Amino acid sequence: MSDRDDHVPGGYEVEISEGRLDVRAGGVEGVVNALTTLRQLLPANAWRRGAAPEGGWSVPCGIVADRPAYAWRGAMLDVARHFFPKRTVLRYIDLLAAHRFNRLHLHLADDQGWRVESRRHPRLHRVGSWRPSTRLGPDGVADGTPHGGHYTLDDLAEMAAYARSRGIEIVPEIDVPGHTSALRAAYPELGEPGRDQAVLDTVWAGGSSISPTRPVVAFLQEVLEEILDATRAPYVHLGGDECDMSWWASDPVIAAEMAEHGYTDVKQMHGHFLRSLGGFLAGLGVRMVVWDEAFVTGGVLDDTIVMAWRGHRVAERAAASHDVVRTPLFPTYFNFDQSGLPQERRSEGGPITLGDVAAFSPAPGEWPAERRARVLGGQFQIWTEWVPAERHLDYLAFPRACALAEVLWSGEILDLPEFEARLAGHLERLDALGVEYRPLDGPHPWQAGGTGVWRRAQSGRIEETRKWVESISHEP
Amino acid sequence: MSDRDDHVPGGYEVEISEGRLDVRAGGVEGVVNALTTLRQLLPANAWRRGAAPEGGWSVPCGIVADRPAYAWRGAMLDVARHFFPKRTVLRYIDLLAAHRFNRLHLHLADDQGWRVESRRHPRLHRVGSWRPSTRLGPDGVADGTPHGGHYTLDDLAEMAAYARSRGIEIVPEIDVPGHTSALRAAYPELGEPGRDQAVLDTVWAGGSSISPTRPVVAFLQEVLEEILDATRAPYVHLGGDECDMSWWASDPVIAAEMAEHGYTDVKQMHGHFLRSLGGFLAGLGVRMVVWDEAFVTGGVLDDTIVMAWRGHRVAERAAASHDVVRTPLFPTYFNFDQSGLPQERRSEGGPITLGDVAAFSPAPGEWPAERRARVLGGQFQIWTEWVPAERHLDYLAFPRACALAEVLWSGEILDLPEFEARLAGHLERLDALGVEYRPLDGPHPWQAGGTGVWRRAQSGRIEETRKWVESISHEP
């Protein structure tokens, strides 16, 4: 990937000589990466939080100079389907920094929960941040246990500052205009008149959408302003995926605004709505990010970053005109199983193996050079419909995140056995860090699905997943 | 409590003058307490992990000199019934240090799990550290979900070092000779011949006991040696509570050893067994700690510390001859409800309110002075049969731990309204720290029990608890 290296920040040089250590880097990100390298030169126990051994550690003299292949080395954590407290996010940031990731995309709002305080519109967090029950398991029975929580704006500011000092930018996502059941539970007037909406208690689809009209744009601008005041984020993700527009054409208020703009198709309104919010962000010096559906409906500005989740075709199409972050379901959705073993805990589908991730090439060689050049990088996703707790999050993220980190830093993994040999040593660092990763030969007994709600439904599952991946990859 | 102060470590003096700060203390514990005081002088946001504001913070000039009433200011966390990963323990240590606690008692082994690696006897952690299912909820239905985990010896060393640098000693507990189902699942030969035993999948009693004979003592000495190598702990808790000795008298090997010692009652053997282990610890310069049953059977040495959980009578009796740490079920078992509100999440019983904790006097004025003088301090307990996750742990611990911290530091809380007024301000610090405490007026909607396995069984519960507390407090 040597054609890419020159423009990418995050590089560094470490020079170790007797009694002296020099670190050269262009910014915080490079310094953090340099310190990570230094720590990697120490024994695995140097990743613990206990005291250093008497006499300290020593490192060999030498020079390490390195730089990343890709500028966007990301992780998406869905804190909407299940809420993860601030402490989990702060620790996740530490783990990401240790793998030289530099973006933490927080999916803050979805049908199942709204996860950030709004002082201007407080029903968002008071009403939207919890549900009385969750449907889990193969039978989808409601568990009757309340679930919820949200970050205060002070929490969000803290997480952003904490991440930044570790070379990581938080990318907050408010997913609109679809996936908005929690928002609508708080403010029903923003959606389809006469349709009630509760925070969804189920992991399945069927969420509602909001109206794409001016008052809704104004409402969301106020919310985004609060989030930006707290985070100073240079990127904001507006979602734009999987939106039910079926009621828009027959809604008189939406129809009136469409007529005003001369639109004949509700998809034009979807694009217009997102461009309006994107323009607002641009005025504040913030770049918008969207899922690929928004690219398809025209919901992008020239400098919008497109996250292509539906496969290679839409990614390559977007890269003809836009910067692209590669987030294909296969192999970057780490909420899918890691193997075909029957004892894996129930998840979304799968498997997506360590080897699948290692084989991923963000900018495939068969693409035209100018499209490859618009690939900023890639990102792994953990959607948390089936991930209620941090222990399971660890299991799904690692060691697959190690493979993606290697791909994004080095461009690609050319020698899988060589990578796997290094990974074996790296797992000792994860042990020291207390990461509850999936062992290479399968889950620990206590990480398995068992016979209850987490049992894995076997029949036809792998085939179903293959068909789903296939079908979305042929969408426009 | 001015008659107690002079002997107690942990005191400090902080002197703030223009451009200068002096801290005087006799050791790490005092320095940590001094730094806590300094942080308390800053705004609540100083307890966050984000960057300090530009221009920093300022503190008023002045002198603070303070010292604790009690030397043992403890917290017991049961990591056996539910396992809590290392990260949770490290964070718990931070929270304890912020409240000037100086002991973290880790209940590492019980019927439901063995939680520490043994290199000499690896079946302990391989077999004993997980169960295939857990019975929860009012109906006690097995959930079919595996649960488990353990600390490596390196993890334990890290936690002990981390705690020590924050003025806290970890007190590891290996509970013997009762509560040993997990141990027996790993090494059946240590218990009743011919009786199978699995790691218990239930929160209810019915666990098995091990044999009190020489080979078992030798086995446990090897285990304790590993734990002491890792932790360098000055105190080790040997449990000694709730032991089923019914099979001991009819076991020929036990009977033979009893005859050799001239014992006629199995209780003498219980005492002998614990004294043997205690003597081994003493040889390593380690002080033994036990629950009060062991005091009653004679399982104590002269310098053994007795934790009295069954109420005031046994505590006062033990204090006639031994150092005592007050751990009465009422009001120091924080796994009990915090109120009588119907929306509280199901727990062990209760309620034990913030006011109950605030009214606790570790060394009651009506005791003779020489017995009061033998009260080292107190400790709150969180038994985790009903506490599967860190979020619920936060809820149960705080703010009751704040009240106990105040009692143990100041001796008693004389002015409850004044304490509650200060607590209101302190809750802002807990918010900044990300502690999911119980709000004073009741749980957040997402902290409530709901209608599923966590629903609270109402009828007769408070009365049952009262009777239980009453009955154990009349045991010998």
pLDDT score of A245: 95
Q: What is the dihedral of CA A88, A89, A92, A97, to 10 degrees?
A: -150
Closest residue in B to A87 (Cα) is B434
Is A44 an interface residue toward B (CB < 8 Å)?
Answer: no
A179 noted as active-site residue: yes
In order of A93, A94, B387, B428, the CA distances from B51 in angstroms are 15, 15, 33, 18
Distance between CA atoms of A429 and A43, rounded to whole angstroms?
8
pLDDT digits (tens, 9 = 90+) for B232-245: 999 999 999 999 99
B179 noted as active-site residue: yes
Would you give per-residue pLDDT tens digits along chain A (476 residues)?
344 445 689 999 999 999 999 999 999 999 999 999 999 999 999 999 977 788 889 899 999 999 999 999 999 999 999 999 999 999 999 999 999 999 999 999 999 999 999 999 999 999 999 999 999 866 678 999 999 999 999 999 999 999 999 999 999 999 999 999 999 999 999 999 988 889 998 776 667 899 999 999 999 999 999 999 999 999 999 999 999 999 999 999 999 999 999 999 999 999 999 999 999 999 999 999 999 999 999 999 999 999 999 989 999 999 999 999 999 999 999 999 999 999 999 888 889 999 999 999 999 999 999 999 999 999 999 999 999 999 999 999 999 999 999 999 999 999 999 999 999 999 999 999 999 999 999 999 999 999 998 998 655 566 777 777 777 776 65
Alpha carbon of B235: minimum distance to chain A alpha carbons (Å)? 20
For residues A240 and A322, the answer to whether their CB atoms sit within 8 Å is no
Chain mean position to CA A54:
41
- Class of the CATH-defined domain B1-67: alpha beta
Which residue in B87, B146, B452 is closest to A450 by CB distance?
A: B146
Whether residue A148 and residue B86 make contact (CB cut-off 8 A), yes or no, is no
Residue A242 has φ and ψ, to the nearest 5°, of 40, 60
Residue B6: pLDDT above 60? no
CA-wise closest residue to A280 among A226, A233, A220:
A220
Read off the pLDDT band of B476 (50, 70, 90).
low
Which one is catalytic: A242, A418, A464, A470?
Answer: A242
pLDDT score of B402: 98
pLDDT digits (tens, 9 = 90+) for B17-43: 999 999 999 999 999 999 999 999 999
**Chain B residue numbers touching A145 (CB-CB < 8 A):** 449-450, 452-454
Domain map of chain A by residue range?
1-67, 71-472
In order of A122, A164, A236, A275, A281, the CA distances from A225 in angstroms are 14, 19, 11, 16, 9
Is B7 an interface residue toward A (CB < 8 Å)?
Answer: no
Which residue in A142, A446, A455 is closest to B144 by CB distance?
A: A455
pLDDT score of B52: 79
Distance between CA atoms of B400 and A321, rounded to whole angstroms?
58
pLDDT score of A1: 39
Alpha carbon of A72: minimum distance to chain B alpha carbons (Å)? 23
**Chain A residue numbers touching B455 (CB-CB < 8 A):** 144
Torsion sign over Cα B31, B37, B38, B44: positive
pLDDT score of A53: 85
Which one is catalytic: B29, B78, B110, B175?
Answer: B110
Mean pLDDT of chain B: 94
State the ipTM, two decimals.
0.96
Please name every residue paired with A333 in a beta bridge, in sequence order, or none if there are none.
A381
Q: Which of residues 135-164 of B touch A (CB under 8 A)?
A: 142-149, 152, 154-155, 157-162
pLDDT digits (tens, 9 = 90+) for A162-218: 999 999 999 999 999 999 999 999 999 999 998 888 999 877 666 789 999 999 999
Burial class (CB in 10 A: 0-12, 13-18, 19+), B341: middle
In order of A335, B9, B27, B330, the CA distances from B63 in angstroms are 55, 19, 19, 37
Is B91 an interface residue toward A (CB < 8 Å)?
Answer: yes
Is A439 an interface residue toward B (CB < 8 Å)?
Answer: no
Whether residue A445 and residue B147 make contact (CB cut-off 8 A), yes or no, is no
Q: Which of residues 159-218 of A touch B (CB under 8 A)?
A: 159-162, 165
Alpha carbon of A432: minimum distance to chain B alpha carbons (Å)? 8
Is B71-472 a CATH 3.20.20.80 domain?
yes
Q: How close are the terminal C-alpha atoms of chain B, in Å?
A: 29
The pair of structure tokens assigned to B84 is 């809590």
User: At which residue do the structure tokens 């010096």 appear?
Assistant: A285
